[in-house]
Amino acid sequence: MDKTQTIREFIESHIVDPEFKGGIEGDIDIFGLGILDSMFALQLVNFIEERFGIAVTDEDLDIQNFSSVNRITAFVDRKKEALDG
């Protein structure tokens, strides 16, 4: 499964409103939906660290890196690049 799809599925499995399930577009602000709490935020960060083998630092914990499926994908790509390069 590709990275974006993995991230999308993780988010959708935690979203409480079925209206958004299967309908999370890449750029939609996931925290703007108002139905995700900080418990989810931490689970998301932990999931990304474990699934993609990266470490999210204090500085990385910026809502800008996590606010949409596309941004999370881009963030993971940057971190992996830094890791491999």
Residue ranges that bind other proteins, judged by CB under 8 A: 16-18, 31, 34-35, 37-39, 41-42, 45, 58-59, 61-63, 66
**Residue among 38 and 85 whose Cβ is closer to other proteins:** 38
Q: Decide: 30 and 11 in contact? Cβ < 8 Å.
A: yes
Q: Of 4 and 45, which has the nearer Cβ to other proteins? A: 45
- Distance between CA atoms of residues 71 and 85, nearest Å: 21
| CB of 28 or CB of 35, closer to other proteins | 35
The torsion of the CA quartet 24, 29, 32, 38, rounded to 10 degrees, works out to: 90
